[in-house]
Structure 1
Amino acid sequence: MNTQKKALSLYLRNFLLIITFLVSLQAVAAEKKNDVVSNQKDAFESLLFSEPPSLKGTLREILANHFGVEKSLSNRNDVYYVLNVGYVDGKLYDPSSNSFQKVHLRGYTGQDANNKRVTQVNQFVAPQIEAHPGDTVRILLKNRLPPDASCLNNHGMQQQVTANKLADKPHCFNGTNLHSHGLWVSPTGNSDNVLLSINPGVSFEHQYDLSNDIPEGTNWYHSHRHGSTALQVSSGMAGAFIIRGNRKPTPTSNGDLSTLLMDPETGQSYKEHTVLFQQIAYACLGNDGKLKRKKDGAINWSCNPGETGVIESYDQFGPGTWPASGRWTSINGIVLPTFKSQVGEVERWRLIHAGVRETINMTFRKINPNINLNELHKRAYTGHLKREDAGRLVQELCSGEAIPFQIVAADGLTMSHTINTQKVTLQPGYRYDLLTVFPSSGGYCIIQPQQSKAGSINSESSPQSLLGFVSVSGKDNIPTNAITSVLVNKLIKSAEKFMPENVREEVIKDIAHAEGKDNNHEILLRKFTPHPIDIADNEVQGQSKQKLLFFVGQDSDKNNVFVLSHDFSVKNVNGVYMPSKPFIYNPNKLGLNLPLGKAQEWELRSYSVSHPFHIHVNPFQIVAIYDPQGRDVSAPGVVEADGDTQFSGLKGQWKDTILVKTNLLPGDLKNNPKNFYRFIIRTRYQRYIGEFVLHCHILDHEDQGMMEKIAVSLQDNVDLH
C-alpha cells in the first residue's frame, strides 16, 4: 500500500513539474511574441480538457409577468436561452510553434438570466444546451456581427438572395440562422427553420416544442445560413444540444438508455464526456489585408509574431486545404487536450463531428510502458510538433494495446445493438455515443488512425495523427480482453437496481447477449431504441423510390460544379461526362414534395468523390450499403478491401447523416458508370409538415449549391391514425 502511495505521489509531483515546465516555456515565448498567452493560469487551462459550458435555461420573466403568473408557479418545462453571435478574440494552441496563436473569429457566447455573459474557458466552442422531452425551448439569437461587403448592394443596404444568381456563391458572411441538427421538431416558422436569414443587428427567437416522445440523445446546433455556413461553422459556431430523458421501459414501450446508464452504488449517471470535434482553419493576412500567398499562389498558412488568425475567405476551404494548413483538430476548442478518468469506471463519451473538412477516426491506445504521460506531454507540447510528424510520435510512444469500446448510439439515436470495436469513424455531422472502461492507470493516447482515400471526405488517404490524451488514475488492473465482460457485468448490476421488475429480466438477457458465442460481443438495446419497428417492404410498397446523386467536377467550360440529381443517367457534353439532369440549390424552387404519414425507400450514389448526405427533420434506416462488387458492407464484422470499417454493423440502424462513399474521382465519370457504392435507406415522414433541406455536409459544397429545398405535405386519402 505504501509503495502504491509513493508511486502515486511521485506521478502527481512529476505531472505538476512538467506542467510548470510547460507554462514557463510558454511564458518565455509570450514575452517574445504578442500572439501567445503570457500568464500561467491560461496556459495551464489550455492543456486540460474541459466540458463545454452549460447554458442554463431560465423562464423569460417578461412573458410570465405579462400573464400575471408568478415565477414559482410558471411552467417548469418552459426554458429560455440567449445566444449572441459576434466576433470573439481568443487563442488556439499551435504545437508546431509551442505557442498560443491569437485568433479573431465569429462565435457564439451565452447570456444568463441577469444578462451577463456565460463564462467560457475557450471561446471557440458554443455553450452546451440541455433539454428534456416535453420542454418548450426558446433561444433568442442576437446577431451582433457588423454588415459585410459580400452582402451589400450599391445602396449599402442588406441584400436578400431571391434567386440562384447569387445563392450558390459564398456570400453574406455575417448573416446567420440556427439549425438544431438531429432534433425531431418542426422545420417551419420560428422552429428549426434554416431558410431564414438573421441579418446583422437583428434578433430572432426560435421556439422548439419538444414532444413527449422525442428521442433522448446527442444532437448539436450550428449556423446554417446558405452562403456562409462553412465559414461560420469552421470558426467554431457549433455547440452540443443534449436531450436528456428519464423514461424507463415498460412491457409495451421502450425507454431512455440513460435510465440504465447509472451507477448502482451512487445512484448517479455514469461519467460523461461531451467531445465536440472542430477544424478551425484560420489563416493570417498580409499587409494588403488579403490572405498571404506563396509564389505558386497557394495559401501561406504561417502566422508571424503580432499577426492574428482569421477565417474570411472560402479559399480556406476545399480539397487539400485542411492538411495543407497544418492546423489540428480541436476538441471543445482545445488542441491536444488531456481527459481525466478512473480505472474500471464506466464512461459515456458523446462524440460530435462539428467540423467541416476532415474525416475523423478515433482509437484509444495505451502509451508505451517505458515512458509516462509526462514525457508524452513534453514531446507533444514543447517539441515543435508538426501535424505531419504526429504519426511518427504516435508510432514511437503510443503503440500499446488498443482499448475496446461499445458504440451505443448513432446520430443521437440509441441503436438496437451495440457495435463492439476499437475504432470509430466520424464524418462531418455525425454523432456517436460510446461506452468504455479504462483498464489500468497511466497515460493513453487518443489516436486518429489512417483513413483510406475513398472513405475520406477529402478523397485523400490521411496519415495517422493525434487528437489528445487520457490520464487514468486508480489501483485496479483489468486485462484488456476482459473490458467487455467488466462493462457487461456493471450494466447488469445497473439493470438489477434501476430497471422495472416487469422488464428487468428481458433487459438483463439482452445485455448478457454480448457474452454469447459468435455474437461479436454485441449488447442488445432493444428496449431502448426509439425506432423499434423496422420499415418493412410492405410499408414502402406502392410508394415512389427516391433517387439522389452527388457530383462535383468541372463542366465543359472548366467551371467548378457542385450538383445533385434525381436521375442516375449521365450524358456527354463536349467531351465531359455529367449527370443527365443536374441541379443546384435554388431558394425559389421546391424539389421533392413528400407525403406525410408515408414511408419511402431512397437510393443514394456519388459519381465523384464521397459526400456526407444529411436530411433535416426525419432520420432514416439503413437497409443496405453495397460496394462496387455488390457486397453489403453494412453487415456486422465486414472489413472492406481498403481496410475501411466505417459502415460495419450499421445495417438496420437509424441515422440522419451518412457518407455516400465512391471510388470515382473528378474526371473518372464515363458512360455506364461503375466503381460507386449504392446506399439503400428508408424513412418515414412523420408528424411535421413544411419546407426544409437535404444537402452535402461538406459545408463548403453546400454553400456552393449541393443542397435542395424539399417539403413534407399533407396528401389526400391519408389517414394518419
Structure 2
Amino acid sequence: MEALASSILFCFSSASAHAQIMFPEAKDRDFPTFNHAFREPSHPGFWSSHLREAQSTCGADTVRRSGKTVTADLTLAYSHNHIWNPQENANDPVRLRSYNGCLAAPTIVVSPGDELRINLQNSLPVDPASDCPKTLNTPSCFNRQNLHLHGMHVSPEGHGDNVMHTVMPAGGAWDYRYAIPATHAAGTFWYHAHEHGATSIGVASGEEGALIVRGRRRYADRARNDGVVDIDTVLHDRYGMPVAERIMLFEQIPYGCFSDASHRTLLQDSTTGTWTCPKGAEGGVENFRSQFISSRTNADGTRHDAWMLSGRYTLVNGETQPVLHVRVGEVERWRMIAGGGHDTLNVQIVKARFGDGEKRLRLPLYARHSSAEMTCDGEAVEQYEIAADGLTRQNISRKDINYLYPGQRSDALVTFRQPGLYCVIDQGGDTLNTIIPLRSRPQGKSPSVIAVVSVDDDNTAHSGRQSGTTQIRRLLQEGSEGLPAFVKARLAGFDLSDFAYFPEGMQPGQDLSDLSVTHRPTAFFAALTMPLASGAVLPPGQAMPDTGINGMIGLIQNELVTVGGASALPFSMDPTHIYHVHLGDVDEWRIGTRTMGAGTTTGQHVFHIHVNPVEIMDIIDDSTGESIFMPGGRCKLQYRLQEAGSTDDSTYSPEFCDQYHVFRDSLFVKPGFETVVRTRYEDFPGDAMLHCHILDHEDQGMMTYVSIDSDQTRQMSAMSAAGMSTMEHEHSGEM
C-alpha cells in the first residue's frame, strides 16, 4: 500500500501555443492597456518597504543608480560580526571575509538594458607563503578572489563575468562591467566569490549577495520587447500596488574556533566531535579540510559530517531564525536563494501547534506568544513557484516542500489562511535526496528551523479562510485586469506561458525541442578519492594535490574530449582539455554520476553552467532506461509517492517531479538517474564555466569550461584549415 509523500507537487498544464488554438483571431494583435493598472515604482526599496520588520541596510549606501547605470562598490576584507546562536542563547563573535563588512552582501537591483558596474577592491592580507600557492585543484590561496554573477546571461569575457581573472589581496582591484541585454529575463539571481581553490571558503564566509532583475515589460509592449512579457507586471492588486517581496538569501557559515593563529587545529569536543568555542573567542572559516570535508564516526556507530558537527544554522540574510511578520490573506513573493554549500534545503512552511514531544521540532522560545511549548508539525502552507533559477516557468508548480540545492533559486507566491505562528523549516529526508555523502550521514537528514512567521489578523475585508489556490488566483485575476480574455483565462488556470522565459533569439512559447542538435556531450561527475586506492592513477596532467587538504580529485567526464585516452578529467587550463562549440550550436548534454575506474566514487552533485541556462528535456531512471515522466510531463507514480514503511527509497525522487522542460542553470544530480538537457549558444563568445556547485567539489577539480567560439573564430579556423590544405597540396606537387 502506498501513502502520499511529505512533498506534494502539482504542475498545472502549460499552454505555450494555445493563444492561436483557442483564440486564433488574436494571434498577431496587440491590445491596449489603458485599463491595466500595473505601475513600476521608481524606488528599488519599494517592495521591501511593505514588510513589517526592519530590513538589513548593511552596505546599501554602496549601491547607487544613475540613469541606466547601476554601480556597486564592494570592498573585500576581514570584518568582525556576531551570529546569533540559539543553542547557546548568545551572540557568537566571528571574524570573516566579507563584502563591505556585511554577513550578507548588499542587494543589487538592476533592470534589463542596464549597465552594471561593480568595483571590487580586495583588502584582504596576503596569504602566508606556506599556504599559497598549492598544486592546481588543491583548495588554497583563500585571500585571492574574484566575482561571479550566478545565472546571469552576460558576457564572460574581459571585464564581464570573467572568473579567470584573479583580484589579488593587499589592495588589488578590478572594475567589472556587465552590459545586461534588453531581453534579459527578469528574476532572482545572485553574486558570489568564484576564485578556483577559494570559492568554497569565500561563499561560506558570506561573500555573496542577492541580485534582482526587475521586470517592467508589459503585455501590450511585447512587440517592441522581442516578445518578452514580465510576470512582475501582473503581480499586483486591482489598484496596481505590487505584492510585497521577501529576498531570502540562505547562507550556511561553518564558523569554528582554532587552537592558535595557524588555524591548523579546530576545537572540538573530544567525545562527540561537536565544534566548540571558548567564551569570547572569534569563530572563522579558515581550514578547508576540517570545516568542509571532515566527518566522524561515534562509538555508537553513527556518522556525522562537518556541517552537523559544526552545530551551525542556516541564516536568512545574515540572521539566525528571524521572525517574519505577515498579514492574513495577503500574498507575498518569496525570492529564495540557496547560497549555502553544506546541505540541501527542503523548505517547508508549517503551522506551529501547542504541545510537546522529545522527537518533535520545537518552535524557538523567543518567538512564542506564551511560555507554552509549541511544535513545528502542523498544517503545511503551500508554495506556488512561479520561477526557477530566476526564469519564469511555463506553469505554476504548487508544492508543500521546496527542494533547493546549492546555487538554485525559487520564486514562490505564499499566503497564510489563518493567524498564528508558523515555522519555516528545513525538512528532514533521505540522504540520497541531499548533497550529503551517504557515508557521512547514513541516518538521513534531520529537520531544523530556518525562520518563524508571525501572521496577524488585521480584520480586513478579505478573509484568510479562503484556500491558497483561491487567493493566488484572485491576485492573478486582479493583476491582469485590462489584458485580453485569453491571457486572463490562462492565468486563472495557473498557466504562465504568456510570461514564461524563452531562449534568446526565439519566440514566446518556443523551446529547444524542435531544434537540430549539433553535439551530444556528457557531464558525468565522479571523485577520485584521496589517498589513492590500490590501482588508481592520477588523470593526465594532474599533479598530486596536498593530501593533507584534499579529500578527492573531482572529475567530469565529457566523452567528446579525450586526453591521453581519458575522458574523465579534473579542471585544467590546458586547452586540450577544453570542449569547444560555436555560436549558434545546440548541445544536448547527458548529465549524471558514475564510477570511472579504480578508486572513484559517485555521490550526489549539482550541475551548474555559466552564461547560458539549460532546458531539462528528460530525466532517465538508469535501472529501467526509461523516463520518469509520463506523456505530458507528469511524474510516474513511483517517483512522486513513497511507499509506507518502505526501506528502499532509491526511486522516490520528488525533487525531480516538476522539472519537465524547465529552464535553469543549476540542477541536482544523484546516482541512478541521468538528466538530458539542451542549451543553445546564441550569443556571448568566451569561456563558460561548468562545474559542481557543491563548492568544495569544484575547488578540488570538479570543474571544466566550454569555450564558445564566435563566427569570426569559426571563419578563421576554416581559413586556417583551407590554408593548411593548400600548403600540403603545393608541397605534394613539389615532390
Instruction: Give TM class, smaller chain.
Output: 0.7 to 0.9
Match of 1:491, SS state, is helix
Using a 3 Å threshold, how does the CA distance of structure 1 residues 226 and 336 change in structure 2: closer, same or farther? same
Match of 2:31 in 1: none
What is the aligned counterpart of 2:208 among 238, 248, 252? 238
1:150–1:173 contact (8 Å) kept in structure 2: no
Q: CA deviation at 1:306?
A: 2.2
* Code of the aligned partner of 1:255: V
1:714 equivalent to 2:715? Answer no
1:633–1:639 contact (8 Å) kept in structure 2: no
Match of 1:196 in 2: 165
2:519–2:586 contact (8 Å) kept in structure 1: no
Match of 1:349 in 2: 334
Match of 1:496, SS state, is coil
Length, aligned pairs only: 584
Distance in 2, Cα, partners of 1:368 & 1:425:
24
Q: CA deviation at 1:235?
A: 0.4
* Code of the aligned partner of 2:55: S
What is the aligned counterpart of 1:526 among 497, 502, 511? 497
2:157–2:687 contact (8 Å) kept in structure 1: yes
Match of 1:181 in 2: 150
* Code of the aligned partner of 2:138: K
RMSD: 2.9
Distance in 2, Cα, partners of 1:479 & 1:645:
29
**Bigger mean CA deviation after superposition, 165-174 or 278-287:** 165-174
Distance in 1, Cα, partners of 2:107 & 2:681:
29
| CA deviation map 1:248-296 (0-9, x unaligned) | 124752301111111223x221000000001100110114743335587
The aligned runs of 1:315-714 (5 Å cut-off) are 315=289, 316-318=291-293, 320-368=305-353, 376-378=363-365, 397-459=375-437, 460=441, 461-474=444-457, 475=459, 482-497=467-482, 499=483, 504-513=484-493, 523-531=494-502, 532-541=508-517, 543-554=518-529, 555-557=532-534, 560-567=552-559, 581-589=567-575, 590-607=577-594, 608-628=602-622, 629-633=624-628, 635-636=633-634, 638-639=639-640, 641=642, 642=649, 643-662=652-671, 676-714=672-710
Match of 1:44 in 2: none
Higher helix share: 1
Q: CA deviation at 1:627?
A: 2.4
Match of 1:508, SS state, is helix
Match of 1:275 in 2: 248
Distance in 2, Cα, partners of 1:195 & 1:334:
32
Match of 1:549, SS state, is strand
| CA deviation map 1:479-533 (0-9, x unaligned) | 7772101210121011115x4xxxx3122111221xxxxxxxxx11011112134
| CA deviation map 1:296-336 (0-9, x unaligned) | 79965111112110111102102611112111111111111
Match of 2:80, SS state, is strand
The aligned runs of 1:10-409 (5 Å cut-off) are 50-51=55-56, 53=58, 54=60, 57-58=63-64, 76-109=67-100, 123-149=102-128, 166-200=135-169, 201-250=171-220, 253-265=227-239, 267-287=240-260, 289-290=262-263, 291-293=265-267, 301-315=275-289, 316-318=291-293, 320-368=305-353, 376-378=363-365, 397-409=375-387
* Code of the aligned partner of 1:512: A
Distance in 2, Cα, partners of 1:624 & 1:597:
22
Distance in 1, Cα, partners of 2:248 & 2:231:
19
2:554–2:703 contact (8 Å) kept in structure 1: no
Q: Which runs of 5+ in 2 are unaligned?
A: 1-51, 296-304, 357-361, 503-507, 537-546, 595-601, 643-648, 717-735
Distance in 2, Cα, partners of 1:454 & 1:49:
38
Using a 3 Å threshold, how does the CA distance of structure 1 residues 55 and 621 change in structure 2: closer, same or farther? farther
Using a 3 Å threshold, how does the CA distance of structure 1 residues 587 and 55 change in structure 2: closer, same or farther? farther
Distance in 2, Cα, partners of 1:709 & 1:147:
28
Aligned-residue identity in percent:
30
2:256–2:285 contact (8 Å) kept in structure 1: yes
Using a 3 Å threshold, how does the CA distance of structure 1 residues 581 and 467 change in structure 2: closer, same or farther? same
Using a 3 Å threshold, how does the CA distance of structure 1 residues 467 and 259 change in structure 2: closer, same or farther? same
Match of 2:378, SS state, is coil
Distance in 2, Cα, partners of 1:378 & 1:313:
34
Using a 3 Å threshold, how does the CA distance of structure 1 residues 486 and 587 change in structure 2: closer, same or farther? same
TM-score normalized with structure 2 length: 0.75
Distance in 1, Cα, partners of 2:255 & 2:369:
22
2:561–2:579 contact (8 Å) kept in structure 1: no
Match of 2:627, SS state, is coil
Q: CA deviation at 1:449?
A: 1.2
Match of 1:702, SS state, is helix
Using a 3 Å threshold, how does the CA distance of structure 1 residues 304 and 293 change in structure 2: closer, same or farther? closer
Higher relative contact order (CA 8 A, sep 6+): 2
TM-score normalized with structure 1 length: 0.76
2:127–2:142 contact (8 Å) kept in structure 1: yes
1:125–1:332 contact (8 Å) kept in structure 2: yes
Q: CA deviation at 1:436?
A: 1.4
Q: CA deviation at 1:537?
A: 4.8
Q: CA deviation at 1:49?
A: 7.0
